[in-house]
């Protein structure tokens, strides 16, 4: 049973932010529907949270929709007129990181949308000529396009790893579309220029795959040993999570996407300035490179056994200027926090909704 330790701060303190590179390392680790007054039922949530991690093996039938540059595959749960929640996975994970969270929130009255990011599952590019680009602003725009396609004006956005970075990007660039966010490992926005600071051996070692992916043999190795590679990352990032083969295999199917390898390579190479982005995103990236504070209500979270490298919570506290809480989830919880501690993650969504 995991335990939540809450550190609430409604006003930012003045600790010195530790810099862009610290946030980049942390990044590896990651409209309201209907009436605007719709609220989730706390009684329903109390009953729903009895569900444990692994209680749900799968979602119902998935849906597909054209949105922006993509045809996006997504799971949907809960009443159509409930408050909107969008949940975003990271690498090397997929929508099944939220299979228990979605069930809890749906039974509490939320309408939950869980999309495959570009390069995962049934999400595909509409054009073969579109660059397989994973820079942070492009992925953020994917989710804005999904909200537009689903006619969601505003939603709570929650995520971890790439998904947390995307939630941070959305809250920064389009705060009017985010009622609030839940971000595992905090503030993950960065820039290629800011990531040029060299790291001492220990953190560099923990981020070994980023440097491996920077090489041609790294790309070939990832493609050849895809399942072994990603299962190894799961063990590294969540050393105390005793997942079984069936749990891993459900997610591993999403790595068979024809664009997966290219998207993963571009993400990590772009972060280091080793792969170019697209000029059409330059203005957005310039805004993000300034590391602006996030103004929407936020809960940041961390597992006490996160084996993926991540910044301490004090490093990013000043990057959240709205109402804010930090929560440490104890009990051996690793990097895949929503799947390992679904009750805690679902509670954070419900709580931030009330900020």
Q: Return the ∠ at Cα 128 (arms to 122 and 131), rounded to 5°.
A: 95
pLDDT at residue 56, rounded to an integer: 75
Q: What is the DSSP letter of 320?
A: B
183 is written with which tokens?
């971000």
Question: Coil, strand or helix: which one is 355?
Answer: coil
pLDDT at residue 23, rounded to an integer: 38
C-alpha distances out from residue 314 to 13, 191, 288, 310, Å: 9, 20, 20, 12
Query: CB-side exposure of 50: number of CA atoms within 13 Å?
Result: 5
Q: pTM of this prediction?
A: 0.87
118 near 142, Cβ under 8 Å? Answer: yes
C-alpha 18/C-alpha 55 separation (Å) is: 39
259 near 124, Cβ under 8 Å? Answer: yes
Q: What is the DSSP letter of 308?
A: S
Find tokens 């932010």 and name the residue.
Answer: 17
pLDDT at residue 317, rounded to an integer: 96
DSSP output for 171-194:
HHH-GGGEEEEEEETS-----TGG
120 is written with which tokens?
């995962």
Tell me the residue length of the chain: 355
95 near 254, Cβ under 8 Å? Answer: yes
**Phi (first) and psi of residue 74, to 5 degrees:** -155, 155
C-alpha 141/C-alpha 281 separation (Å) is: 10
54 is written with which tokens?
């692994």
C-alpha 66/C-alpha 171 separation (Å) is: 23
C-alpha distances out from residue 305 to 29, 235, 332, 349, Å: 12, 11, 5, 21
262 is written with which tokens?
């290219």
164-177 in b/e form (b: 16+ CB < 10 A) is: bbbbbbbbbbbeeb
Find tokens 């679902």 and name the residue.
Answer: 346
pLDDT at residue 16, rounded to an integer: 30
Beta-bridge partner residues of 313: none
Q: Mind listing the pLDDT tens digit of every residue in the chain (355 residues)?
A: 566 666 544 444 333 333 333 433 333 333 322 333 344 444 344 433 334 677 777 898 999 999 999 999 999 999 999 999 999 999 999 999 999 999 999 999 999 999 999 999 999 999 999 999 999 999 999 999 999 999 999 999 999 999 999 999 999 999 999 999 999 999 999 999 999 999 899 889 989 999 999 999 999 999 999 999 999 999 999 999 999 999 999 999 999 999 999 999 999 999 999 999 999 999 999 999 999 999 999 999 999 999 998 999 999 999 999 999 999 999 999 999 999 999 999 999 999 999 9
CB atoms within 10 A of CB 248: 16
**Phi (first) and psi of residue 301, to 5 degrees:** -140, 155
């Amino acid at each position: 049973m995991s335990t939540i330790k809450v550190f609430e701060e409604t006003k930012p303190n003045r600790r010195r932010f530790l810099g862009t590179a610290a946030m980049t390392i942390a990044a590896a680790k990651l409209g309201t529907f209907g009436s605007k007054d719709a609220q989730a039922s706390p009684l329903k949530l109390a009953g729903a949270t009895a569900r444990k991690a692994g209680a749900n093996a799968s979602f119902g039938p998935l849906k597909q929709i054209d949105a922006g540059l993509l045809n996006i595959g997504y799971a949907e749960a809960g009443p159509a007129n409930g408050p909107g929640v969008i949940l975003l996975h990271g690498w090397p994970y997929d929508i099944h990181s939220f299979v228990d969270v979605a069930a809890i929130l749906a039974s509490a009255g939320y309408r939950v949308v869980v999309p495959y990011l570009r390069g995962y599952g049934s999400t595909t590019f509409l054009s073969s000529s579109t660059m397989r680009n994973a820079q942070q602003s492009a992925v953020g725009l994917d989710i804005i396009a999904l909200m537009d396609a689903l006619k969601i004006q505003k939603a709570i956005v929650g995520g971890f790893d790439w998904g947390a970075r995307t939630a941070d990007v959305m809250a920064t660039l389009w705060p009017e579309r985010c009622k609030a966010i839940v971000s595992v490992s905090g503030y993950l926005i960065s820039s290629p220029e800011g990531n040029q600071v060299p790291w001492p051996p220990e953190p560099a070692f923990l981020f070994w795959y980023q440097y491996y992916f920077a090489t041609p043999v790294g790309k070939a190795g990832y493609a050849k040993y895809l399942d072994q590679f990603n299962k190894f990352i799961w063990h590294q990032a969540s050393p105390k999570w005793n997942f079984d083969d069936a749990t891993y295999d459900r997610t591993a199917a999403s790595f068979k996407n024809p664009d997966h390898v290219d998207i993963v390579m571009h993400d990590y190479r772009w972060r280091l300035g080793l792969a170019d982005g697209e000029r059409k995103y330059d203005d957005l990236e310039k805004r993000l490179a300034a590391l602006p504070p996030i103004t929407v209500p936020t809960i940041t979270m961390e597992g006490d056994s996160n084996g993926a490298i991540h910044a301490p919570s004090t490093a990013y506290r000043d990057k959240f200027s709205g109402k804010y809480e930090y929560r440490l989830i104890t009990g051996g919880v690793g990097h895949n926090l929503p799947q390992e501690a679904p009750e805690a993650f679902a509670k954070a969504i419900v709580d931030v909704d009330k900020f």
